[in-house]
Amino acid sequence: MTGPGPHGLTPEGNQAGQADQDLGTRHWTGNLADDATASPASNSPGMPQGERVVEVTHIDLHRAARISGAVSAIIALVWVLAALLIFGLLAGMGAWGNMNDALNDVADTSVPTSMVIIAIIALAVFEAIIGTLLGVVAAAIYNGLARMGAVGGVRVVVRD
C-alpha cells in the first residue's frame, strides 16, 4: 500500500506528512530481543507475518476527553435507568410511601417524587463530569510516565 490509507496513516504508522515525534509514538522493530528490558520468556519466535509491535507513548488529551466523556455518559445513563427502576419498584410495592410516612413521623417532613428524580439525574450528571475529568487526568499521567525512559509506554501488537 502506498500513501495514506483510509484512516489517514501511512503503512509505517505515521499520519500523512507528520514525523514520528509529532504523534508521540516510537516505532519498534517487533523483535523483543532488541529490547534490553525484555524477559527471555517474552521472546516469541513464532510471531505471525504482518504483525508488528508499536509502543504508545502519547495519548491526545482531547480524544481522551471525548472517549471518557462518552463512556461516562453511558455509565450515567445506565445508572439513571437502574435507579429509576428501583425507585419505581419501591413506589409500586408501597415501600416508598411507608418510608415517607416513617420520615414524616420522625422529622415532620417527606421526600417528594420529583425531588428523588431530580437528585438521581443530578448525581448522574455529576458522575459524567467527574468521569470525564478523571479520564483526562489519567491520560495526562500516562503521557508523563510514558515519556520517562525507565517506564516507557504500552506495547501493542498491530496487524497490517
More confident residue, 46 or 141: 141
**Any idea what DSSP says for residue 30?**
S
Residue 138 neighbours by CB under 8 Å, 6+ apart: 64, 68
pTM: 0.62
The distance of Cα 114 from the centroid of its chain, to the nearest Å, equals: 32
Q: Please write the tens of the pLDDT for every residue from 44-78.
A: 566 667 889 998 889 999 999 999 999 999 999 99
pLDDT above 90: residue 128: yes
**Any idea what DSSP says for residue 48?**
P
Q: Please write the tens of the pLDDT for every residue from 88-124.
A: 898 889 888 888 888 888 887 878 888 888 999 999 9
The distance of Cα 126 from the centroid of its chain, to the nearest Å, equals: 17
Q: Which of 6-10, 45-49, 102-106, 141-145 has the lowest mean pLDDT?
A: 6-10
Average pLDDT for 4-17: 46
Burial of 124 (0-12, 13-18, 19+ CB in 10 A): buried
Q: H-type helices in the chain, by residue range?
A: 20-23, 61-93, 95-107, 113-147
Radius of gyration in angstroms for the set of CA atoms belonging to the chain, rounded to a whole number: 25
How many Å apart are CA 142 and CA 67, to the nearest integer? 15
How many Å apart are CA 30 and CA 27, to the nearest integer? 9
Provide φ and ψ at 136, rounded to 5°.
Answer: -70, -40
- By C-alpha distance, which of 158, 148, 160 is closest to 57? 148
